[in-house]
Amino acid sequence: MKKLTISLSILAVVALGSCKKYLDVQPLDRVPADQLLLDPNGVKVLLANLYSRMPVEDFKYNPGQGFNYHRTTSQSNYVEPGFGTTYFTDEATLSQGSGVGPVGEGYWGYDGIRQTNQLLEQIPSVTTLTEAQKTALKGECRFIRAYMYFQMAKRYGGLPIIEKSLVYEPGTDNADLFIPRSTEKQTWDWILSELEEASKTMQPSYTAAEGPYRATKWAALALKSRAALFAASLAKYWSRAPLVGDAVTQKLVGGFTSSDADAYYQQCIDASTSVITNSGKALYRPTPANRAEAVTNYQTIFQNPTAADVEVIFKKGYVDGSTTFLQGHNNDLYYNPSQTNTGNIYFGRSSPTVELVDLYEDYTDNGVGASVPLVTRTDGNENDFVGDPRNVDVNKPFRQYDNTTDIFANKDARMHASIITPGSRWKNVTIVMQGGMIKQDGSKVVYTNDFALGKDGKTYWSFGASSNSGSSGYSGFFGIGGNSANNYPISGFSQKKFVQESVTVPAPYFSSTLDFIDMRLAEMYLNYAEAAVESGKGSTATAAQYINALRRRAGHTDNIPATLANVLKERRVELAFEYHRYWDLVRRREMHTKYVTARRTVLIPMIDLRPATPKYIFVRANNFYDEVAGGRTFLQRDYYRPIPGVATNKLVQNPEF
């Protein structure tokens, strides 16, 4: 009876509804724009959509595919790992091998820009917001739009700048739709001025619930600092990798002068200073009592960002993607070593290079601030990287260690907080990453698990344990060069930053909800320091104060001068795995000279059974997959990506495409 009533009433509604303007029916599965804008929460819905479309290079950015990447049409489908630009650089390689840049051209963000323009145009007609709220909201939209343009400008150079939603007129030639590219300089200038204007009207803070997830004026200025440093570096170093072609003649790429560089560096200094002095942000626990505390503090920032909100300017949150479709990320699954894997078929995927580990300071180097390579040899030759470690000469003067941990003992706290090293403790398990063995007779086993007796009568395994699964097994080197097992770091190291030690994340895909920190105060310090040192503007003393503040937080008690080398090194170690490195190499035009059939490097801990008590040696070697590929090359043209669809959008193509 009840059903009948309902059916009848639905029929009545439908029947009556169709009495007038039969063809003007509003779709029933979506809310019309004017209705949505009547409600302040409706505006929030639109805004949330724009935030979700922001091209943040986070855990879900896949350089080959694009932003917010989920390769699935249903939750059970095959999922391709996301992985960021870290693996296109000297910071790390994937355990299954990975190339070196360029990122794919998978971001042509004009759909998001159009939606932002539409909201910007609708804001004035929203009756439920105060004028002040409208102004703040407009600023927020302009920030989001500038963010989208920034990500495109990094990839394509000069862009068509579209500040209103364009209308397609059927039956005309639509000449107005074909907006040509602005010059690269105009594009950067526009992005910087948009961020400046946005920051003037955006709110300085939000409620605790929204916190740094919502962009404040400080986020706009922090992005301005980042973008200005990018533009300044381009202006200064573009000629390191010059290009020719129509796009260059028309200054759609390049075309900067040295005074442009100075002006951009100044903008970077101003924006950074404004954030540092006015935002109320501070370094999280800046003065640890000892190194152990420094390790804990620094690690906390990345595995519990809420605790470190004092330092965080802008971050991205996630909800569990195993229960909510298209949400969540996989960092905890992909990067936990085998011994702490919770059951996903992907794990142990990250292999940080020994080049990065070498870069960190040693606490015994007081006053110099130089990187200190790990000591693997007694003759001091730390530049001897063997191509194929299966051919290593075991009689070279390797330094023998009693265990696999002493070699790292004095390294910077940030190294211990960012990287899992062989023999270190992780989730209350001693992580075993060992790649080979020298038997009593001097024969060697490398990249294969085998066992042999030591002179002490005990049995030892070349991979450090007999099993490749479980907490008592091993975590490294298994299946190297094979097709199936890519879950074992091949470099002797595994990534710790942005992986949660205190939280156990279950096995289903997209179960990770750890926040991604997009902007934090430390980057402002480093942006300021680099701009000051590069341009001679600002204050070198302040620059030194900033980099030493970061070092003090890492447990260093000495001060180092703000030289360019120190500032760049500090940037690499402080911001490692935060997806800055690739763009730092690009904006400073260092990729194409660093990568000409070049190999990234690894460290292979091996047990030596020749002494009475087994010892450990560490063999420096080339990354297996880089070696197999004949090295990695980054072409000069790849600093810019090809503009998509030039045959139809009539834009000028970038050089050499």
- In the complex, which residues of this chain contact another protein (CB under 8 A)? 241-245, 248, 387-388, 391, 596-597, 599, 622, 627, 630-631, 633, 635-637, 646-647, 650, 653, 655-657
Report the C-alpha gap between 117 and 148 in whole angstroms: 12
Closer residue to another protein, CB minimum distance, 243 or 310: 243
Minimum distance between the CB of residue 244 and another protein, rounded to whole angstroms? 4
Between CA 624 and CA 96 the distance in angstroms is: 10
Contacts (Cβ under 8 Å, ≥6 apart) of 201: 135, 136, 138, 139, 217
Report in angstroms how near the CB of residue 245 gets to another protein at its nearest.
Answer: 7
CB of 602 to another protein, least distance (A): 15
Beta carbon nearer to another protein, 77 or 391: 391
Other C-beta atoms within 10 Å of 208: how many?
Answer: 8
d(CA 505, CA 344): 10
Task: Say which amino acid occupies 207.
Answer: T
- Quick one: 33 or 386, whose CB is closer to another protein? 386
CB of 596 to another protein, least distance (A): 7
CA dist 270 and 633 (Å) reads: 37
CA distances (Å), origin 58, targets 61, 216, 548: 5, 19, 28
For another protein, the closer CB: 247 or 333: 247
Nearest Cα to Cα of residue 520 among 579, 588, 575: 575
Closest alpha carbon to 316 in 54, 579, 45: 54
Q: Minimum distance between the CB of residue 249 and another protein, rounded to whole angstroms?
A: 11
| Cβ 637 to another protein shortest distance, Å | 7
Angle at 576 between CA 528 and CA 477, to 5 degrees: 165
Nearer to another protein, 368 or 646 (CB): 646
Q: Name residue 92's beta-bridge partners.
A: 352
Residue 66 is given by DSSP the state: B
Minimum CB distance to another protein smaller for 247 or for 490: 247
Helix (H) or strand (E) holding 268: helix 258-278
Q: Helix, strand or coil for residue 620?
A: strand
Contacts of 623 (CB under 8 A, 6+ apart): 93, 97, 351, 353, 490, 491, 599, 600, 601, 602
DSSP state of 398: B
Nearer to another protein, 272 or 622 (CB): 622
CB of 634 to another protein, least distance (A): 11
Q: Supply the minimum distance, in Å, between the C-beta of residue 647 and another protein.
A: 5
Q: Which of 414, 362, 367 is nearest to 558 (CA)?
A: 367
Comparing CB distances to another protein, the nearer of 543 and 586 is 586
Strand order in the sheet with 601-608: 444-446, 436-438, 601-608, 615-622
Query: Which of helix, strand or coil describes residue 615?
Result: strand
User: Given the complex with another protein, which of 224 and 632 has the nearer CB atom?
Assistant: 632
In the complex, least distance from residue 414 CB atom to another protein, rounded to whole angstroms: 31
In the structure encoding, which two tokens stand for residue 281, read together? 């942000």
CB of 262 to another protein, least distance (A): 22
Written as six digits, the tokens of 397 are 């003067």
* Alpha-carbon gap, residue 260 to 586, rounded angstroms: 18
Nearer to another protein, 390 or 427 (CB): 390
- For another protein, give the closer residue by CB, 501 or 626: 626
What ranges make up the beta strands (E) of 149-193?
Answer: none
**Sign of the dihedral defined by the CA atoms of residues 367, 370, 375, 379, in that order:** negative
- Nearest-angstrom CA–CA distance, 384 and 382: 6
Residue 42 or 631 with smaller CB distance to another protein: 631
Q: How far is the CB of 233 from another protein (least distance, A)?
A: 20
Sign of the torsion angle spanned by Cα atoms 211, 214, 218, 219: positive
* Beta carbon nearer to another protein, 81 or 631: 631
| Choice between 468 and 601, CB closer to another protein | 601
End-to-end CA distance of the chain: 69
Task: Return the SS3 of 272.
Answer: helix
b/e code 151-167 from CB counts within 10 Å (16+ = b): bbbbbbbbbbbeeeeee
The nearest distance, CB 627 to another protein, in angstroms, is: 8
Q: How far is the CB of 491 from another protein (least distance, A)?
A: 18
Q: Closest approach of Cβ 592 to another protein, in Å? A: 9
Instruction: Classify the C-alpha dihedral 619-624-628-633 as positive or negative.
Output: negative
